[in-house]
Amino acid sequence: QVQLVESGGGLVQAGETLTLSCAASGIRYNLYLMGWYRQAPGKQRELVASITSGSSTNYADSVKGRFTISRDNVKNTVNLQMNSLKPEDTAVYYCNAKSLVSSLTFWGQGTQVTVSS
């Protein structure tokens, strides 16, 4: 069964660093575009960052220069290092896997990130 399991969320103060991790199983991991999305209360889910199997990355303008996405194609994990966190980064963060050869998309259950001022 396909599973995406996030970890690393928590409560931090503004300016601090937090790293999220996503462990993928049940898929041919190297054939998927991996990404992190987030959803704050009352707002739409938005793409934060994505990374291809070749480590090409894409970031939302709001996190460029602060967040770094990376992947380990042996361990089938994706990380999101979040530096200089701001209160507006507070949201539930979701791991996403999008197939490069089909229309299949999978989601993790999410991990809460709360940044206090």
CB atoms within 10 A of CB 100: 12
| Token reading at 4 | 């995406």
Contact 22, 108 (CB under 8 A): yes
Instruction: Assess whether pLDDT exceeds 90 at residue 28.
Output: no
Please, which contacts does 64-69 make with residues 24 or more away whose CB atoms are closer than 8 Å?
Answer: 69/34, 69/35, 69/36
Contact 2, 105 (CB under 8 A): no
Contact 32, 95 (CB under 8 A): no
Tens-place pLDDT, residues 31-46:
899 999 999 999 999 9
Tens-place pLDDT, residues 47-59:
999 999 888 999 9
